Structure 1
């Protein structure tokens, strides 16, 4: 995934990059190896506390709306790259946020939105898959929003093969490894796991993890 991100954002030495919704800095580290500075923005102080000790990584406690609405100021005037990895579905108004972020770009700067498509091949239970499809934004609409923000937009896909033991995956579902699963109580999760076991009786689960990469480039 880091390679897919870097190939699309194309950071260079001296560039400023904003990793929005950076979490523990998993992708910030890869970006910092090529860019000059990576601002690691996340609304969770607990996540930011886990960033690696690296002078190139600048922590900032803020969410997307905080930055776009000016409640929190960025430490630089302009950025060469902005990454939103599995963030856009948490945003109430994606078009407004993307338009605001586009204003932070330097000429030639890039915004990369990495997101799941509206239909996924995860071996989840039916109620979870249905809820995901209802809530997940359409990558085509995100590409259109970047275009409306004055950026040249491109939509591509990559997929990664995954294999888990059934028991490990059941544990991941029980621990609500996707934020979506927090919508279900313990009894519903256990019923869902039973549904998964009935549908996949073997010891392992193999499925593709397919992602949409929506790139916007400022002229």
Structure 2
């Protein structure tokens, strides 16, 4: 993964500033459980699990045998380690797989663009998964409908690989691949969205200075004069099964 300095800097405030609605989180959690067919017999590896909030909910709601939150940012991993129902690993994706820690299901939620050398990574996952094991990638199209300023949209586009690339790589490894496009829309007070931008809740925003962020907020304000702002999130769920 890329150097985790950005996430180290926002770890303590991440759970507070991540204002996406409870309904949104329920929407994502429900599809993860369904797409991965999670059950009490499963051991989940959540790669790039951040502060572990999703890992912990999946552990609880799917009644998993065990759940690992694998996070390269030390500060984020410290937050995850405070959650008693999961196990936090302070390491990157490749290093975790090299430990040969057993798992039956693997989640890559909004992190796949951070992982380099993906072909050997897919091969390592295929070798580690049992027959019938699954991995799930949650990613976004290169063009997003988030209310971002133009330069942020361009940065996202250039940093986000096409999802078709992941599909083809997984199929080459021998996985059976299924893809679903889903979206969720919710409203946020603009002040909440602006706080998320100022804290650079997405790694793509780390490229911009405070002055550029403030100029971007002025740009957004001209487009969205209302007190609330609609957040439209188009997500791509890619499920790969080891047959």
Question: What are the superposed Cα offsets for residues 5-57 of structure 1, whole Å, 9 maximum, x if unpaired?
Answer: 00011122222221111112222223323321112211123223323112xx2
Count residues in correspondence.
212
Question: What are the superposed Cα offsets for residues 67-123 of structure 1, whole Å, 9 maximum, x if unpaired?
Answer: 34x3xx1433xx210001111011123333222222210000001011111111011
Mapped to 2, the partners of 1:157 and 1:67 lie a distance apart of 29
Give 3-state SS (helix, strand or coil) of 2:168's partner: helix
Q: TM-score, normalised by structure 2?
A: 0.82
Equivalent position of 1:207 in the other structure: 231
Q: Quick check: 1:107 aligned with 2:131?
A: yes
Consecutive unaligned residues of structure 2, counting only runs of 5 or more, are 1-27
Equivalent position of 1:133 in the other structure: 157
Does the CA-based 8 Å contact 2:189-2:229 persist in structure 1?
yes
Q: Quick check: 1:83 aligned with 2:103?
A: no
Change (3 A) 1:74 1:25: farther
Q: TM-score, normalised by structure 1?
A: 0.91
Partner residue of 2:207 out of 156, 176, 183: 183
Moved over 6 A (4+): none
Mapped to 1, the partners of 2:206 and 2:73 lie a distance apart of 18
Equivalent position of 1:43 in the other structure: 72
Equivalent position of 1:173 in the other structure: 197
Does the CA-based 8 Å contact 2:70-2:96 persist in structure 1?
no
Equivalent position of 2:38 in the other structure: 11
Mapped to 2, the partners of 1:74 and 1:213 lie a distance apart of 26
Give the number of the structure whose residues are more often strand, by fraction: 1
Mapped to 1, the partners of 2:232 and 2:119 lie a distance apart of 29
Give 3-state SS (helix, strand or coil) of 1:108's partner: coil
Consecutive unaligned residues of structure 1, counting only runs of 5 or more, are none
Equivalent position of 1:123 in the other structure: 147
Mapped to 2, the partners of 1:130 and 1:119 lie a distance apart of 8
Does the CA-based 8 Å contact 1:19-1:83 persist in structure 2?
yes
Equivalent position of 2:23 in the other structure: none
Compute the displacement of 1:62 (Å).
1.4
Compute the displacement of 1:190 (Å).
1.2
Equivalent position of 2:96 in the other structure: 67
Give 3-state SS (helix, strand or coil) of 1:107's partner: coil
Give the number of the structure whose residues are more often helix, by fraction: 2
Does the CA-based 8 Å contact 2:175-2:241 persist in structure 1?
yes
Does the CA-based 8 Å contact 1:18-1:81 persist in structure 2?
yes
